[in-house]
Amino acid sequence: MLNVLLAMSIWQRLDAWDKKLFVLLNSRWTNSFFDTVLPYFRDSVFWAPLYLFVLVFIWLNYGKKGGWWSLAFVCTIAIADMISSKVFKLNFERLRPCQDPFFFDQVRLLLKQCSGSFSFTSSHAANHFGMAAFSSLTLYKSFGPWIYLTYLWAFFIAYAQIYVGVHYPLDVLGGGVIGIFAGVITATVFNKQVGSFNLAI
């Protein structure tokens, strides 16, 4: 019983901190440029041409090995998304900030509607940090330190989830951890079974 009460106390403190940080990022540290750009930036459809370009580019330049890379890349996204959506969201059932009846009045929602799925963890963060981890661990020998820019890209997409009002900071942090875990696993298997790319394009 004491352990349960202690766990509840810790969660209440984390939740309070999480919501305070959310308000800062969503409602106070804002500007008109981010208001315009970030709703598109976090939209998967917006990035679809880039995803397709990367897959085709790798496939054309690395042949069969590039085909296996593309398959592993897609598998990374699928694994990260399933862990986030099917394991964490369905078990934690945390309401999104824009859905919480006791909190939504403090949310500046920049989208037309709030998603109906649960909040913890962010699948956007999981998917994109998964892509970043997998790409950096398999393409470093070809692209060098530049490949780490994928983490910056993933960070801004995750940050946009908070900025537009659909996720708390802990949601995107949890999603990021899941994504990196998935990316490390798939990259380790890929590098062992297929081999990392070691020729600059």
Between helix 149-163 and helix 169-193 the angle, nearest 10°, is 150
What would the mean pLDDT of 153-181 be, rounded to a whole number?
97
- Report whether pLDDT(29) > 70: yes
Residue-wise pLDDT tens digits, 60-104? 888 888 889 999 999 999 999 999 999 999 999 999 999 999 998
- Report whether pLDDT(199) > 70: no
- Which residues are CB-neighbours of 125 under 8 A, at least 6 positions away? 154, 157, 158, 161, 167, 171, 172, 173, 174, 175, 176, 178, 179
Q: Which amino acid is at 49?
A: P
Domain definitions of the chain by residue range: 48-193
- What pLDDT shows up at residue 9? 72
- What pLDDT shows up at residue 57? 86
- Report whether pLDDT(48) > 80: yes
